[in-house]
Amino acid sequence: MFLSWRLAPLFALLCIHVPGAQGADKVSPKAGSVTAIRFPLKLIPESSTADAASVLQSQGFKQDDGVSDSKKMSDITGAITYKHFKSDNLNLEYWNGKLFNLRVNHSGIDGCENMILIYKDAISFIKNSYDLSKAKMSSGPNFGSKRCKNYMDEGSVIWGAVTKDYQISVDSFWSDDRYYVYVSYLYMPTQRAIDAQESGEMKKSDERARSNL
């Protein structure tokens, strides 16, 4: 079962571009090489907001106006590009000031067929970039659908893999008359700590409610 980004929720054939670098070339690692699942773009789980921002800004990312703590960074040239999937911005989520959730977005897609092509390429990116041999695979109730409406709500066609340390997934949604496809990276040790804290708080709330009866 996947954790939604909103609730939380390299590198075979992958091309990495350094945004903003004059004349920079995309670098393709050796075909067939894969790594364990990890955050891309030199990001490290549980980095501070300042450290995460520094790492991304050194690669040419820009913080969006009006967004504090580097929670959204613009990616003009597509730092993560795989076939038709091309990142244009990142969402970063922090807990207690530490990075634990990253979403790599391909935004504002016109046309259902085009969106499904990009969605499938995002899945291929994961399969060809990471060692999934020890991962638990899972998918949403409408995974594999060809019906456009099933790609409009998050969780419907979600696909991904979970290990002890990471959850990586691909999902889509519809907003402002456009489709959006994203790859999400979730650091599981932090998510487990969040779940434990929320569970403890809920238990205390229930105990207080019973004591007032």
Q: What is the per-residue pLDDT for 11?
A: 30
Report whether pLDDT(132) > 80.
Answer: yes
Q: Is residue 5 part of a domain?
A: no
Q: Is residue 139 part of a domain?
A: yes
Percentage of the chain beyond pLDDT 70 is: 75
Query: For residue 107, which amino acid is it?
Result: S
Q: Is residue 3 part of a domain?
A: no
Q: Is residue 196 part of a domain?
A: no
3 confidence band (pLDDT: 50, 70, 90): low
Q: What is the per-residue pLDDT for 209?
A: 64
Distance, first Cα to last Cα, the chain: 36
Q: Is residue 209 part of a domain?
A: no
**212 vs 203: CA distance, rounded Å:** 14
Q: How many CA atoms lie within 13 A of 2 on its CB side?
A: 26
Q: Which domain holds residue 95?
A: 15-188
Q: What is the per-residue pLDDT for 70?
A: 61
Q: Is residue 84 part of a domain?
A: yes
Report whether pLDDT(178) > 50.
Answer: yes
**160 vs 142: CA distance, rounded Å:** 14
For the stretch 7-64, pLDDT in tens is 343 333 333 333 333 333 332 334 456 899 999 999 999 999 999 989 998 988 888 6
Per-residue burial over 85-103, b if 16 or more Cβ lie within 10 Å, else e, is bbbbbbbbbbbeeebbbbb
**142 vs 140: CA distance, rounded Å:** 6
**121 vs 101: CA distance, rounded Å:** 21
Cβ neighbours of 16 (radius 10 Å): 19
The count of domains in the chain is 1
For the stretch 54-109, pLDDT in tens is 999 898 888 866 555 568 888 877 889 999 999 999 999 999 999 999 999 999 99
Question: Which distant-in-sequence residues (6+ apart) come within 8 Å of 202 by Cβ?
Answer: none
